[in-house]
Amino acid sequence: MKIIELRLQNLNSLYGDWFIDFTAPDYVSNGIFAITGPTGAGKSTIMDAICLALYGATPRLGRITASDNQIMSRQTGECLAEVTFESQAGRFRCVWSQHRARKKPDGKLAEPRHEISDAISGQVIEAQRRNVLRVIEEKTGMDFDRFTRSILLAQGGFASFLQTAPDERAPVLEQITGTEIYSEISRRVHERSRSELELLGRLQAEIAGIKMLNGEETALLHDELATLSAEEKQLSEQLLTLRAAIHWLDMIHGLRREIAELDQAEEAVRLQQDKFQSDRERLKLARLAADLEGEFASLAALRLQQDNDCKALQTCVDQQPKLRDNLIMLEIQHATARANLLAVKLEQQTAAPLLIKVRALDQQIDSQQQMLNNSRAELNRQTREITLKRFEYSQALAVYQSMQNDLTGIHSYLSDNSCDEILVSEMTGISRLISQLGTCRQEVQDRSGALAVIQKNEKESLQQLETIQHQFHEQQDQLANCQLALHEASQALESHLDGRLLREYRRDYEMLLREQTFIRKIYDLEAERKKLVDGQACPLCGATGHPFATGNVPELEVHEQAIVKLNLFISQAEQLETDVK
């Protein structure tokens, strides 16, 4: 990490704006420089400004808040610390600032502002105070404590650093010198050496447990191995032969089963053909009748349209006398309204001049009233302004007299206490100790409150756990009840369907609807059926046999009842199937 630039304003004894460019030739050419000056000149304030810009705190005063700011110069209304630094992550600029209300010396302190941005592009990376510290730690690799121990040592901090334990001082020195890689290499070498030694010990233990064979035992084992190998080869050949025979037998049995299944299928097809022979003749006749179905439907539609047109025409004829009477009444009303309109227009023409004069007078009255209202409002406004100016003048006069008295008292006090100027530099250390004591007390109170909150949360968590366990048992009971209800619904659906599928009942329902359509067509052709004579060809299908000519027509009502019953059965089955899902 390298500090590039520093800018500060109104910090401790450094009043006004100050700027230091550490890349200037005077600093870079010598490589090392010192900041010197008398006590109270502001040397430590430069170090405080760097810490304040980065972490919002200083080694001497701690964190600066809205309730405690002892680093702002006295009789000033704002302060600022800005630092530009460079690290391995890039170049960044950190700004910390705080001001009083209206930037007046006696105003109330506002909340500090803290942000980090890219020094090259100017883009703000983070502007929330609690997140700025995290970003700075990521970019620099150091928090406030490590920064004040390694990069910037406050007054008396170097002695404290030398007196710390080696374990605490070693990480800081490694980070300063960049030798932390050697500690990591040493640790890994130690771990690798330990694992290799453990592996060597295990291998040596295994070798010690191995017993070496003599020549006779080795030859005996070789002979036994050769015998077993020959037996294994013979058994493998026998196994292959047996597997081939088993496969051949399986193929023969499979072919026989296929032949038997084909014979059964052929017999079933033959029976279906014989059974369908009568239906085939009926289907042939139905197809002939279906060719004329479109023309018959068109004729029926035309007849229905003709009946509707005749009814509409008759309705219009019936309404014609009533509409004629209504027309006469409307003509009489129109004539009366026209006469009334002429009379009203005549009266309006007579009163038009008077109306024009009245409207002109109304406009003049409204204009005069508006001007009067504006004058009254302006008078009231000027009266209020005069009263306000008098009040402000009296207040300013009182403030001036008070400030004059305060100035006289200050001059007398300075002349009487000119020997106490050294207390200004010592007051900073005393204030820091008081601030640290208050911070410690506040931390004790915060931790006590946090402990109470943790105990309360633990109690609430136990109560929530009991509630969740109770809900879990209830859900288990509900799951068992649902599984039982599902099993009962499945059994009820299987019992209702009686071993058949729901789609089979739907197919039967569609067939009944088609049969109902054919039966209705048969009923519609009642007059034509009476003309049929046995032995003579039907003019529609050409058949000489007329089974429905003698009144042998299926009962339509019985068919409709069967359709309604099957529809109700399918609805109940669908409801049971929905319950199961």
Q: What share of the chain is helix, strand, coil (3-state, %, to 5)?
A: 70, 10, 20
Inter-residue contact 132 to 139 (CB < 8 Å): no
Does residue 270 have a pLDDT over 90?
no
With 80 as the cut, is the pLDDT of residue 525 above it? Answer: no
- Give the confidence band of 330 by pLDDT, cuts at 50, 70, 90: confident
For residues 55-81, one letter each, b for 16 or more C-beta atoms within 10 angstroms of the residue's C-beta and e for the rest, the string is: bbbbbbbbebeeebebbbbeebbbbbb
- Any idea what DSSP says for residue 120? T
**DSSP letters for 446-461:** HHHHHHHHHHHHHHHH
Structural domain spans, the chain: 2-177, 178-208, 220-275, 291-418, 502-580
Q: With 90 as the cut, is the pLDDT of residue 49 above it?
A: yes
Q: What's the CA angle centered on 139, arms 135 and 143, to 5 degrees? A: 70
> Out of 88-92, 103-107, 286-290, 335-339, which region has the weakest mean confidence (pLDDT)?
335-339
Average of per-residue pLDDT across 65-72: 88
Of 108-117, 190-199, 233-242, 391-400, give the lowest mean pLDDT range. 391-400
Percent of the chain with pLDDT over 90: 14
pLDDT mean over 140-161: 69
The β-bridge partners of 58 are 62
The whole-angstrom separation of Cα 71 and Cα 57 is: 10
Residues sharing a CB contact under 8 Å with residue 505, sequence separation 6 or more, in sequence order: 497, 566, 569, 570, 573
- Give the residue from 508, 516, 514, 526 showing the smallest Cα distance to 554: 516
pLDDT above 80: residue 573: no
* CA-closest candidate to residue 507, choices 565, 572, 566, 575: 566
Q: Which amino acid is at 340?
A: N
Residues 517-546, mean pLDDT to the nearest whole number: 68
Q: With 60 as the cut, is the pLDDT of residue 422 above it?
A: no
> Looking at residue 90, what is its pLDDT?
92
pLDDT-derived band of residue 461, with 50, 70 and 90 as boundaries?
Answer: low
Mean pLDDT check: name the lowest of 130-139, 190-199, 208-217: 208-217
pLDDT value of position 19: 94
227-241, 265-279, 475-489 — which one is most confidently predicted on average? Answer: 227-241
Say which residue, 50 or 328, is predicted with more confidence: 50
Whether the per-residue pLDDT at 571 is higher than 90: the answer is: no
Determine the pLDDT at residue 451.
65
**Per-residue pLDDT at 92:** 96
pLDDT score of 510:
82
pLDDT of amino acid 156: 52
Distance CA 54, CA 85 (A): 10
Distant-in-sequence, close-in-space partners of 85: CB < 8 Å, separation ≥ 6: 1, 2, 3, 4, 54, 91, 92, 94, 140
Cα distance between residue 154 and residue 170, in whole Å: 19
- Spatial separation of the C-alpha atoms in residues 108 and 67, rounded to whole Å: 9
Annotate 247-281 with b (16+ C-beta within 10 A) or e (fewer): eeeeeeeeeeeeeeeeeeeeeeeeeeeeeeeeeee
Please give the DSSP secondary-structure letter assigned to residue 101: G
Judge whether residue 430 has pLDDT over 60.
Answer: no
Tell me what the mean pLDDT of segment 55-64 comes to.
88
Say which DSSP state 549 is in. Answer: T
Kindly report which listed range (102-106, 153-157, 164-168, 270-274) carries the lowest average pLDDT score: 153-157
**Rounded Cα distance, 196 and 46, in Å:** 55
**pLDDT of 131:** 92
Label residue 72 by pLDDT band (50, 70, 90).
very high
pLDDT for 56 beyond 60 = yes
pLDDT score, position 541: 66
Q: Other C-beta atoms within 10 Å of 125: how many?
A: 16
Percent of the chain at pLDDT > 70 equals: 69
| Contact between residue 105 and residue 77 where contact means Cβ atoms under 8 Å apart | yes
In this prediction, residues 218-236 reach a mean pLDDT of 86
Q: What is the 3-state secondary structure (H, E, C) of 156-210?
A: CHHHHHHHCCHHHHHHHHHHHHCCHHHHHHHHHHHHHHHHHHHHHHHHHHHHHCC
Q: What is the mean pLDDT of the chain?
A: 77
Order of strands, sheet of 78-87, starting from the edge strand that comes earlier in the sequence: 14-21, 2-11, 78-87, 90-99, 113-118, 124-126
Assess whether pLDDT exceeds 90 at residue 462. Answer: no
User: pLDDT for 341-360, tens place per residue?
Assistant: 776 677 667 766 666 666 66
Mean pLDDT of 131-138: 92
Q: Is the pLDDT of residue 160 over 60?
A: no
What pLDDT is stored for residue 159 in this prediction?
55
Q: Is the dihedral of CA 174, 175, 181, 184 positive or negative?
A: positive
Average pLDDT in the 397-408 region?
68
Got the DSSP string for 351-419? HHHHHHHHHHHHHHHHHHHHHHHHHHHHHHHHHHHHHHHHHHHHHHHHHHHHHHHHHHHHHHHHHHTGG
pLDDT given for residue 567 in this prediction: 80
Q: Which helix (H) or strand (E) holds 21?
A: strand 14-21
How high is the pLDDT of residue 428? 60
Q: What tens digit of pLDDT does each residue of 163-210 get?
A: 667 666 666 566 555 556 667 777 888 888 889 888 888 888 877 776
pLDDT of 538 higher than 60: yes
- Class in CATH terms, 2-177: alpha beta
